[in-house]
Structure 1
Amino acid sequence: DGDELSIFPDQTEFISRLDTAGRRGLTNVPGTTIEIHPGSIDVTHPMPVEEIESIFTDKRTYLRNYQADWADWLRDLKAGWNPPTTDLLTTLQEWWGPLLEMAPTLCAQVGANVLIRTGELEVLIDFPNGEVRAHAGEPFAFSFDIPRELVETVAAERAVDWSNSLLLSCRFTAWREGEYNEYVYNFFKSLSRERMRRAEAEVVRKLTPADELEGVVEPDIQIGDYVVQRRCPHRNADLEAFGEIDDCEFVCTLHGWRFDLETGRCLTASDLPLRIKHVE
């Protein structure tokens, strides 16, 4: 209702802070067009200003209406989720066991057991020993409680990035003992041999002292008809693993950063261009 503390303040809060700083903020919703001219800015919204304001002043009603608009779609989506099988544990063991074996450095950085509770099944990922097995009461430092049908669905699809395929849905609860550990989530983003090979290389590179990396120049790589630098200028993601061409844009799928395919100009930020060249 607008009174709750949130780490995701809405546009009105940002615009208020801009106003306080003596700057002009513009409300922007899907369908809004903003035309910038010398000396003026024209804003055209897809609906009356009063309706846009009500999105922020009466959030509960807006979200209930939004929920109702998508209710049929969500019902059909859930109807397509996979029912429980009898071999989910075996599936995860055969899938994840070889990946853990490929990534000893990543496993060492997790350094603890991770528990997945899904229905009546409790799966333990033993990162220190590189094993996946049924939980038998061992201690763990991280846990996820995920509906069984969701795990069955992404397992049946062999989804290689559970961060996007499952965790971003927020249809789970999580617990941890101690600090956030990015390597747990790196594992769930890298559920294929190619991705895990890249993830392990990233960890090794990150842990290598800077003076040992100084002077090391990585060769450019080719993706489709384009030669591009190996590392994303955002967070050094390996573009051989995370780079994709999407129409006239080059995308780093790790964090969704986009670049103009022909010029390398960053479309997500203004000061991080990508070196890219079309192969004749």
Structure 2
Amino acid sequence: MRIGLLGTGPWARMAHAPALSEHDGLDFVGVWGRRPEAAKEVADLHGTRAYDDVDALLADVDAVAVALPPSVQADLAARAARAGCHLLLDKPVATTVEQARAVVDAVGRAQVASVVFFTARYLTEPAAWIAEQAAAKGWFTARAQWLGSVFTTDSPFADSPWRREKGALWDVGPHALSVLLPVLGDVRRVAAAAPGPGDTVHLVLDHAGGASSTLTLSLTAPVPAAGSVVELRGESGVTLLPDSAEGAVPALLRAADELLDSARTGRPHPCDAAFGLRVTEVLTEAESLLNGTTG
């Protein structure tokens, strides 16, 4: 499969570009970025071509991987789908329901495959744990804490404008939902949303399976307090999402495998653009509660 990379920021450099270069089933055709000089840097590092024109890249590939801010990703993903490209997207797909729905609509009309990279869904041990707990019954409640210290001087994402604007709800909230939804069922409603220190938010979710969950999300936690925990309690007892020593590149290699499989078979992936839309809908509902609005 011929694939192109849209984006040249830290995530593209540290995860996407190495994975696309390493994958045996992909031909890494080229890179496009909003800064042509950055696209050339990334392309030169991986022995591929820098494109000044995004439509020229879309015409030369079968698929694209996207490592861009969500508002930019959504428009370009829909454009790529309309050009007949399969999509390896990052989370969140978009930060508005309208943009996320436009991606889903474009994917459906073009009949292309889509996979959204929610990291835990592609790490070996966490993915196996999620599948095992989804098959179990009788979950009563869950607790998810996703706490980061992103805006520190040594963080590659410290200068990310969209993370500073949208905060933990939109950056790590998708990770938590990607674990909870397949286990507890869809979110019937966001029962409560409250702010904490910095960009911290606390959510209470009512799930279709009858369980409830609480989420604490932050990008501004003290460095010693950073980390993630997902705990389930129910008839099977208590279980925790396992840690993983794998990095982002092996997880992205697995995501690319699953994109290839979805494109070959025509079967929708569990983390496709439609799932990404549902995550955006839940986070939009939570954001409305936090802002004191409805709808």
Is the structural similarity TM-score above 0.5? no
TM-score, normalized by length of structure 2?
0.26
Structure with max Cα Rg: 1
Greater per-residue strand proportion: 2
More contact order relative to length (CA 8 Å, sep ≥ 6): 2
TM-score, normalized by length of structure 1?
0.27
Greater per-residue helix proportion: 2
